[in-house]
Amino acid sequence: MLFNILQAVDTTALTSAAPASQEMNFSLIDMAIKGGWLMIVLLILSIMAIYIFGNKWWMIRKAGKIDKNFMKDIHDMIHEGKIKSAIALCQKYDSPIARLVEKGIERIGRPLPDIQAAVENMGNVEVARLEKGLPMLATISGGAPMIGFLGTVSGMIEAFFRMSTAGNNIDITLLSGGIYEAMVTTVGGLFVGIIAYFGYNYLTSQISNLVFKMENTTIEFIDMLHEPAGR
């Protein structure tokens, strides 16, 4: 009989615990919906951040791909007088480095300061092209957490407003539910901001490395033009 009583107690405990465990299970989608309309803004910002990062990463990756013997081949062609072949070789690569050299080759025959100025101007254009979109990524990294905090503050205001209008029937769920909904936007904003922040810094470092290669190529090309023709 004692065993039957214990079994009945266990069954009752499990039955009462089941709804509680079911209530504790929630998905990220449910949590995002609790955040309100500001979560839609954060979703749009996250899509923009991922798109910008992916697009710039692919562009930088493509821009850095060039044959290690590229400058050696250009050197040989220029000193052999094969200017058209050198330009054709530059056009073979979709790279800022190749476009810099191509611009310099097209100016061969003019004074060296003019050639150097043309190459440097082309370099500025290429750097601006590489950096296009990064200001937006930086804005998202700083703006997304602020939007999240805005949602938190507005959610807290709503929670306390509910409590003030509840009168004597104040329930702890009025406050806890509002705080829960408010904190969801903070988590979402920080999540989007962190992704955009790390993505921005990574792309900036990769662009800096590519700009360093472009500067070295410019110096090498100008030095090449200073060499005697028969060398």
Helix/strand/coil (H/E/C) assignment for every residue in the chain: CHHHHHHHHHHHHHHHHHHHHHHHCCCHHHHHHHCCCHHHHHHHHHHHHHHHHHHHHHHHHHHCCCCCCHHHHHHHHHHCCCHHHHHHHHHCCCCHHHHHHHHHHHCECECHHHHHHHHHHHHHHHHHHHHCCHHHHHHHHHHHHHHHHHHHHHHHHHHHHHHHHHCCCCCHHHHHHHHHHHHHHHHHHHHHHHHHHHHHHHHHHHHHHHHHHHHHHHHHHHHHHHCCCCC
Higher pLDDT, 122 or 179: 122
* Per-residue pLDDT at 136: 94
Residue 214 has pLDDT above 80, yes or no: yes
pLDDT at 227 over 70: no
Among the residue ranges 22-31, 49-58, 134-143, 199-208, the one predicted with the least confidence is 22-31
Specify the pLDDT at position 36: 65
Judge contact between 124 and 211, C-beta under 8 A. Answer: no
User: What's the pLDDT at 105?
Assistant: 87
- Over the stretch 106-164, which tens digit does the pLDDT of each residue have? 888 888 888 888 888 888 888 898 888 899 999 999 999 998 888 878 777 776 777 77
Residue 95 pLDDT exceeds 90: no
CA distances from 47 to 28, 51, 52, 137, 228 (A): 17, 6, 9, 11, 55
Average pLDDT, the chain: 78
- Percentage of residues of the chain with pLDDT beyond 70: 74
Tokens of 145: 């957490």
